[in-house]
Chain A
């Protein structure tokens, strides 16, 4: 089974702090994703990474950055946390398609971040 783990389930930070959210997957997946989930807005993609050291902006990258130095680890960084970044953050991974056209993403348990 694919296992995607996130460094914290719950996190409380203060406005202006730098925040690191870590995600690790153990299935040698090339693609990794960071989403945030808010009531009424569904899942929104922040950043994704096709492979090591590769990153692409999603729909809402402002205020965030990412790092993918190793294949199994994808970090989300909030440079200066703000209250509107209070949310549930979800990491996902996906095996890069080598044939066929299926697209299964496996999610971590989520980190509920509160910024005061």
Chain B
């Protein structure tokens, strides 16, 4: 899986958009970008994933640059419940041997009242 780089921490005011960047300059053509988050003392939660087009769901939007070397997760209206560690993961499903998710250190997002 390609290596990802994320800022260690970020703050965001409640109600504002939170923009979380991720660099993945060694991404290959068949690798997807996934975002998960983990709220303190809970299991990781899947947020969104994409290949090259921008994606949006009820939780967030994912913007992937044209060269696919970086992406941004956008939480449009951050709430206090969005305070969590956000993980950007790049991987391809390549068959039976590809099963383990590797979580890096992620970005600790603190939403401030």
Cα–Cα distance between A88 and B30 once the two chains are bound (Å): 32
Partner of A43, one of B98, B99, B103: B103
Q: Are B49 and A107 in contact (CB under 8 A)?
A: no
Chain B: interface size category: 20 to 34
Q: Given A90-B43, A110-B41, does the pair A42, B93 have CB atoms closer than 8 Å? A: no
Contact for B101 among A88, A91, A97, A105, CB less than 8 A: A105
Given contacts A42-B103, A43-B101, A43-B102, contact A50 B42 (CB under 8 A): no
**Contact of A45 with B100 in the complex, beta carbons under 8 Å:** yes
Minimal beta-carbon separation of A10 from chain B (angstroms) = 10
In the complex, number of A-B residue pairs with CB atoms less than 8 Å apart: 55
Q: Could you say which interface size class chain A belongs to? A: 20 to 34
Answer whether residue A84 sits at the interface, using C-beta atoms and an 8 A cutoff: no
List of A residues within 8 angstroms of B41 by Cβ: 88, 110, 112
Closest 6 A/B residue pairs (Cβ): A107-B43, A103-B93, A101-B93, A110-B43, A45-B100, A107-B44
Q: A43-B103, A106-B46, A107-B46 are in contact. List 9 more A-B contacts (CB 8 A).
A: A42-B103, A92-B101, A101-B30, A101-B32, A101-B92, A102-B32, A103-B34, A103-B92, A105-B46
Residues on A facing B (Cβ under 8 Å): 4, 31, 33, 42-43, 45, 48, 50, 58-59, 88, 90-92, 97, 101-110, 112
